[in-house]
Chain A
């Protein structure tokens, strides 16, 4: 039982490049979400999904796309990376007992 798995753990992108951050869970949770963590800002919600085929925006959605075709996977896409997207990204699932976070993807955009 791996819980929430994020890949890659580290990534360096050039401005304008695109990439997909992967998130997979094996807990059969309907809810999945993406947060970014920046110094002095705390964690901020980017997008979330309450089930396959359903997504919604969080606090900071601009520059990011998501889709949810299966219960297990919730990828986060950066269409054209910008230095302001340098951050640590966390995927999380939720059940009645609270949220479970992955170990994060550390992204640097140069």
Chain B
């Protein structure tokens, strides 16, 4: 079993829809939870960074962490074609010195 599981997709949704992306993890010692967006042939770009269970909102993006279920989510509201990218979840343990990444979900927003 991988430490972090993420559905690779691909996922296609119409413009304006709400997108839900998810990851599950197995190690209860994980403490830091991140979502990255990666455009084709570019480096990952940090979208959201949370430490605790609960919700964190930034513009059209909401990150949700449920430590009891070992489940994290990223919601994108009012999705735009520019949101088309691969989304990576990343989880860090104590000290956040080593990130474990999901394999990424490829998202396409259809105009």
Give me the interface of A with B, judged by CB distance under 8 Å: 4, 31, 35, 40-45, 48, 50, 56, 58-59, 90, 94, 97-104, 106
Asked if B99 CB lies within 8 Å of chain A CBs, one says yes
- B89-105 CB mask vs A (1 if < 8 Å, else 0) is 01000001111011110
- Determine the distance from Cα of A44 to Cα of B43 in the docked complex, in whole angstroms: 14
Contact of A99 (CB < 8 Å), options: B41, B46, B103: B46
Asked if B60 CB lies within 8 Å of chain A CBs, one says no
Q: Are the C-beta atoms of B43 and A42 separated by less than 8 Å?
A: no
Q: Are the C-beta atoms of B101 and A101 separated by less than 8 Å?
A: no
Contact A48/B98 with A90-B43, A99-B46, A100-B46 known, Cβ cut-off 8 Å: yes
Whole-angstrom distance between the Cβ of B32 and the nearest chain A Cβ: 8
Number of A-B contacts (CB under 8 A): 54
Contacts of B41 in A (CB 8 A): 104, 106
Contacts of A41 in B (CB 8 A): 103
Question: Contact residue range for chain B?
Answer: 20 to 34
Q: Are the C-beta atoms of A101 and B43 separated by less than 8 Å?
A: yes
Q: Are the C-beta atoms of A99 and B98 separated by less than 8 Å?
A: no
Q: Are the C-beta atoms of A43 and B43 separated by less than 8 Å?
A: no
Whole-angstrom distance between the Cβ of B91 and the nearest chain A Cβ: 11
Q: Are the C-beta atoms of B97 and A101 separated by less than 8 Å?
A: no
